[in-house]
Chain A
Amino acid sequence: MLAAILGRLPASAIVMLIVACTVLYGGVVLCIVLAIKRKP
């Protein structure tokens, strides 16, 4: 299923997908990690 979807997408779309996921979801995870680290 994922292979079919990724296979249908041009390389530029996959790049944009990676950028969006990294910034949005990676950003949330990073902020949560920082918040947990700060907790006494």
Chain B
Amino acid sequence: MAEKEYWPSRTSFVLAAIGSAIGLGNVWRFPYICYTNGGGAFIIPYLVALFTAGIPLMILEMGLGHRFEASAPIAMKGTGRSKEWIGWLACGVGFMIVCYYAVIMGWTVNYFGYSFNLAWGENTEAFFYNEFLARSNSVGDIFSLNPPILAGLAISWVLIILCIWKGAKSVGKVVYLTVPLPWLCLVIFVIRGLTLPGAEEGIAYYLTPQFDFLRDPKVWLHAYSQIFFSLSVGFGVMMAYASFLPKKSDIVNNAFIVSLANCGTAFLGGFAVFSTLGYYAQKMGLPVEEVVDAGFGLAFVTYPSIINHLGKAASFLGALFFIMLITLAIDSAFSLVEGVAAAFMDKWESRRLKVNLSLGIILFLMGIVFATRSGYYWLDLLDYFMNNFGLVVVALLECVAIGYFYGTRKLREYVNSESEVSVGLWWDVMIMFVTPAMLIFALFTEFRARIAEPYGFPVMPRWGEFVGGWAIVVLLVAVSIFFMRAKGRRIA
């Protein structure tokens, strides 16, 4: 039997878990969601969601991984034999996410190179969609490869595999660079942004509260969704990471540090984004609401355009911005691979090197479809389905499995026996009622929206949504059940 892996230190674990949680969404999603959902008033539902769903789920996942000293499938099996598939489903969702996440990382690798001579030019939108992505008008153009994206994807996979080469041992070292570095870059961007003319206008847009938004249930749904998407729960990562902790580890405190640091980074990211947007709006003579953007548009269109206006330091700040995105993405990416790799090693006692290399090659090959001229549409579709259905279903199943079958009290007593600060009955209430209720509400809302219209319509037709979305969700469930029934070596 392979020797059990442990984190070199508690700091390594906390940094790795924070690195997994903090991803691109903290910089390019949270500020926009905050601005469009009541500005400063959004802080209220966001913090409520953090304490009623985010932190309870984080404690649940870390507690399970630590209790059974195993990754998601075996840990779930520990709660009941028939629950193993839930763990495999979590790994499956993580597997599909990292498949396209590495492609986005590949884009940032390319843009890092472009930043040295500001190769995106003046029309950054045309450059990103027409030249760089060479986006087709149809979703069926999956045989025309885009070489720069393919090269970026290959580089991303080499970096990811190198980071997890020796599992917790190498990850525990790498995170000392990949977690503080984006924080440092973010602080530099906040300082630079706040010293630009017009920054105060952008910050006012970001933080001015509109309390009447709080009466809209959708704002609360967005707060809970943002918390679910950004904490890296529902992928099996936190269970795998917690399984590498030694006995007598403070689960509750670790869960609080990771969750609060993740949200604190997102909040800080808002200052970097909105201060520069305020400057850009002033420079263009436009109101801030006309330059506000999120996601790919913010990172690859608006931000390069802002960088063009930063004078002599433009290239340096451009390179720094994309270094920040690469380092934000890499620890989330390798944590997802690690979650899957740990599951295979736990169940079949496979060798780490073999599992890492196999996963890297399979995921690289699967990612090639996103490096084609139609890849953007498929990537966007899969991202939507994995986050809104895959992740939400896994989190819901975990809550039901623990809340109604295994018993929240049993897990809570275990977690409290290991932790300095104890969690009370409130945690049981959150896992049994509040979190599942919000997850069902989120699931129902998205399901209803998809019945009305396919995602990405009109470019994405109904058959495309079926193939790239629904079929993958069903396939993941089928594969999870297959893996559960397959004979393994280890018993929880």
**Within the complex, what minimum Cβ distance (angstroms) separates B247 from chain A?**
15
Known contacts: A13-B204, A34-B421. The answer to whether A24 contacts B267 by CB under 8 A is yes
**Within the complex, what minimum Cβ distance (angstroms) separates A10 from chain B?**
6
Complex: how many Å from CA A31 to CA B256? 7
In the complex formed, the residue of A with least CB distance to B252 is: A31
Contact of B199 with A5 in the complex, beta carbons under 8 Å: yes
User: Per-residue 0/1 for A4-40: is the Cβ within 8 Å of any B Cβ (1 yes, 0 no)?
Assistant: 1101111011001101110111011001101100100
**Within the complex, what minimum Cβ distance (angstroms) separates A3 from chain B?**
10
Most buried by A among B40, B47, B421: B40
Contact of B264 among A19, A28, A34, A35 (CB under 8 A): A28
Contact of A16 among B40, B199, B204 (CB under 8 A): B40
Contact of B204 with A1 in the complex, beta carbons under 8 Å: no
Known contacts: A5-B194, A16-B40. The answer to whether A24 contacts B200 by CB under 8 A is no
Known contacts: A13-B208, A19-B43, A20-B47. The answer to whether A8 contacts B201 by CB under 8 A is yes
A-B contact pairs, 19 of them (CB 8 A): A1-B195, A5-B199, A7-B200, A9-B204, A9-B207, A12-B208, A12-B211, A13-B40, A13-B208, A16-B207, A20-B43, A21-B267, A23-B260, A27-B256, A28-B257, A28-B264, A31-B257, A34-B421, A38-B250
Q: Is B209 an interface residue (CB 8 A)?
A: yes
Contact of A31 with B40 in the complex, beta carbons under 8 Å: no
Contact of B257 with A9 in the complex, beta carbons under 8 Å: no
In the complex formed, the residue of A with least CB distance to B191 is: A1
**Within the complex, what minimum Cβ distance (angstroms) separates B258 from chain A?**
9
Q: Is B169 an interface residue (CB 8 A)?
A: no
Question: How many of chain A's residues touch chain B, expressed as a range?
Answer: 20 to 34
CB < 8 Å A-B pair total: 75
Q: Provide the residues of chain A in CB contact with B207, threshold 8 Å.
A: 9, 13, 16-17
Contact of B257 with A32 in the complex, beta carbons under 8 Å: yes
Complex: how many Å from CA A27 to CA B203? 23
Contact of B47 with A38 in the complex, beta carbons under 8 Å: no
**Within the complex, what minimum Cβ distance (angstroms) separates B45 from chain A?**
12
Q: Provide the residues of chain B in CB contact with A23, threshold 8 Å.
A: 47, 260
Contact of A24 with B260 in the complex, beta carbons under 8 Å: yes
Contact of A31 with B201 in the complex, beta carbons under 8 Å: no
In the complex formed, the residue of B with least CB distance to A19 is: B43
Q: Which residues of B approach A to under 8 Å, CB–CB?
A: 10, 39-41, 43-44, 47, 194-195, 199-201, 203-204, 207-209, 211, 250, 253, 256-257, 260-261, 263-264, 267, 420-421
Q: Provide the residues of chain B in CB contact with A35, threshold 8 Å.
A: 10, 250, 253, 257, 420
Contact of A5 with B47 in the complex, beta carbons under 8 Å: no
**Within the complex, what minimum Cβ distance (angstroms) separates A26 from chain B?**
9
Most buried by A among B207, B253, B256, B267: B207
Contact of A34 with B39 in the complex, beta carbons under 8 Å: no
Q: Provide the residues of chain A in CB contact with B43, threshold 8 Å.
A: 16, 19-20
Complex: how many Å from CA A5 to CA B194? 8
Complex: how many Å from CA A33 to CA B267? 22
**Within the complex, what minimum Cβ distance (angstroms) separates A38 from chain B?**
5
In the complex formed, the residue of B with least CB distance to A38 is: B420
Contact of A28 among B10, B204, B261 (CB under 8 A): B261
Q: Provide the residues of chain A in CB contact with B203, threshold 8 Å.
A: 5, 8-9
Complex: how many Å from CA A38 to CA B418? 12
Known contacts: A4-B200, A35-B250. The answer to whether A17 contacts B256 by CB under 8 A is no
Contact of B253 with A34 in the complex, beta carbons under 8 Å: yes
Complex: how many Å from CA A6 to CA B47? 22
Complex: how many Å from CA A21 to CA B260? 11
Contact of A24 among B40, B250, B253, B263 (CB under 8 A): B263
Q: Provide the residues of chain A in CB contact with B264, threshold 8 Å.
A: 24-25, 28
In the complex formed, the residue of B with least CB distance to A27 is: B260
Most buried by A among B41, B200, B204, B253: B200
Complex: how many Å from CA A21 to CA B265? 11
**Within the complex, what minimum Cβ distance (angstroms) separates B210 from chain A?**
9
Q: Provide the residues of chain A in CB contact with B257, threshold 8 Å.
A: 28, 31-32, 35
Contact of A13 with B39 in the complex, beta carbons under 8 Å: yes
Complex: how many Å from CA A24 to CA B257? 9
Complex: how many Å from CA A32 to CA B421? 12
**Within the complex, what minimum Cβ distance (angstroms) separates A7 from chain B?**
8
Q: Provide the residues of chain A in CB contact with B208, threshold 8 Å.
A: 9-10, 12-13
